[in-house]
Every structure is written in structure tokens, then in C-alpha cells.
Structure 1
Amino acid sequence: MNRRFRSAVYVESLHRDGDHGVHSFMIDCGPDWRTMMEGRGQRKLSDMLVTHAHFDHIGGLPEWADACRWLGEKGRLYAPAEVLEQIVRQYRGLADRWT
């Protein structure tokens, strides 16, 4: 079966500055975010980069915000200023769950 997910890329990088472990982040957070993370067997993701504010790129942000809340973390959301403004307008009340 060919299962495709909308607009999300998971990136892992090894630390090279002496820090141990793997740093992971996601580029875009489509509405299939939770299903994709469950498929990976992963619950924690603290960094998110959003390229633009179309629904297929931000539709999973409410679920990501809930996951951060349940884990007792504040996620870090990165995006161009105009994209952040649009996300805050669209998802009022969630902005306090990320920095």
C-alpha cells in the first residue's frame, strides 16, 4: 500500500558540537501529523519549521500544540513573520503553547 501524508518532512541531524544525541525537527505540520508520528512510534517533537500558512502545511499545529502540552513542554515554532502572524490569527489560543 502506498500511504502518503500531506506536507510534512521529518529531519534528524547528529550533533557535531560535542553534544550527544540526535536533534530532530519537522518542516511543516500537515493535518496528518499525528498519524505520521504514531507510525514512527514517536511522541516528542519540540521544533517545527513552517514554510507557509496553507492548511496542508499547518493543519496539524493544534495536535502538535496538544502533544507539547501533554509532555509539559513548549514547542519552538519557526516561520517567517507574516506566516507566524497568520497562524496566530487562525489558531487563537494556541500561541501560548509554543515560543
Structure 2
Amino acid sequence: MNKVVLVTGGAQGIGKAIVLELVKNHYDVVINYLTSNKAAALLEEEIKKNYDVRVMTIQADVSKEEEVNTMISLIEKEWGGVDILINNAAVDLSNLFHLKTADE
């Protein structure tokens, strides 16, 4: 059985690129997303059509412990757990990186 990788923020951008590399290398993937419902569904469909791996999408806010616990419980129930975690989810408060504070 393939290793299970959870990618937070995995529906678009860098997260999507990570997910696609993982499935190309025969990893099963869990795509976590917060608001990118359509992008997550399209990516899941693309993976199911083109790769021989398992894929699951889960909407959860990773800044909320209860939602993370629910997500992990679902993955454990369906697939036995997570082998690899890629924490990609982030909030970008502006496009001006040089103006960000350490807290941001």
C-alpha cells in the first residue's frame, strides 16, 4: 500500500504542485483546503482520471484544533492514518513581503 500524504492548502498554487508531484510518484494524497472547493474537486477529478493512487479532499481550517482533529480522525478511519504531513496552508495578509512583521 502507498504512503498517505496530507497536504494542507493543497488545492491550488504551490500545494497543488506538491500534490501533483506526489501522485506522479505513487503517493496517496489527502488534499486539505479551506475555501477552494471547486479547485479541490477539479484536482481530485484529475488525479482519479490520470493516476493509480487514492485521493481524498477534506475541507478544514487548520488554524482550528477541533477541525484538524476531525480531519485526522476521518483519514485514520478511511485510510489508517497519515504517514507524511506537508504543512503548506498559509494566510497571506498582503503581497508586500518586505512590509510583513515577524508575527505575520
Fold match by TM threshold 0.5? no
The structure with the largest alpha-carbon Rg is: 2
> TM-score, normalized by length of structure 2?
0.33
> TM-score, normalized by length of structure 1?
0.34
Structure with higher helix content: 2
